Amino acid sequence: MNQAEFRARLAQIKLIASVKEAKYLEKAAEANLSAAVLSIGNIGVIKGYVDFFKSREIPVFLHLERIGGISYDREGIAFLAHYVKPDGIVTTRNTLVKLAKKQGLLTIQRLFLVDSDSLKSGLLSIQDTQPDAVELMPALLPEYIEEFRSMIDTPIIAGGLLRKREQMEVVLQHGATAVSVGSPSLWKESFIHDYSVVI
């Protein structure tokens, strides 16, 4: 999957499953998702998890800091790209975004908005790394999503602390391209709408 295809899928389907337990792999695969982000597993099982989603034509990303046994260097990223073969990675680290891009992987850079300084440093980080998408956490800060949206062209994924469909709709209405949720009960929600206009 290339950047244009990924961004088009994000804009159309708007829902990412953040899978944090192996017992929920099947449930995620049954949902209508723009992608699955795996925050589970280790070097011994991760290829099987990736193949599971790819066989169902669901783009799959690995949250690198949560996958055991993978080194965070050029060789580790090359191993992922050429053997495990996810569509991309999620990370907070600038260096990993750059290494993954060199290996042809899609990248989602995760930013935590804790204060105004993190907003400024996050924008500088994105300008430096040029990820394929940005995940802003926590999601329940719609005014910051709007502010980011006004300053970058990169798709914004809102993640963290989303517990209800109504919260998901609010962040979409405030400029998020998609939402990332870890609650399996929310994966059944459908967001094939245009939320570009605030209601």
pLDDT tens across 28-85, in order? 999 999 999 999 999 999 999 999 999 999 999 999 999 999 888 999 999 999 999 9
| The predicted structure's pLDDT at residue 142 | 86
What SS3 state is found at 119? helix
pLDDT grade for 199, boundaries at 50, 70 and 90: very low
Q: Structure pTM?
A: 0.93
| The predicted structure's pLDDT at residue 198 | 39
11 touches 30 (CB < 8 A): no
pLDDT grade for 187, boundaries at 50, 70 and 90: very high
| The predicted structure's pLDDT at residue 188 | 86
pLDDT above 50: residue 182: yes
Residue with tokens 């953040």: 18
pLDDT tens digits, residue range 109-151?
A: 999 988 878 888 989 999 999 999 999 999 888 888 998 888 9
Here the tokens at position 73 are 């260097």
pLDDT above 60: residue 196: no
Neighbour count for residue 159 (Cβ, 10 Å): 23
| The predicted structure's pLDDT at residue 192 | 54
| The predicted structure's pLDDT at residue 197 | 38
| The predicted structure's pLDDT at residue 191 | 62
**Exposed, middle or buried by CB within 10 Å (0-12, 13-18, 19+), for 158?**
buried
177 touches 156 (CB < 8 A): yes
193 touches 12 (CB < 8 A): no
Q: What is the DSSP letter of 165?
A: H
pLDDT above 80: residue 6: yes
**Hey, what domains does the chain have and what are their CATH numbers?**
3-186 (3.20.20.70)
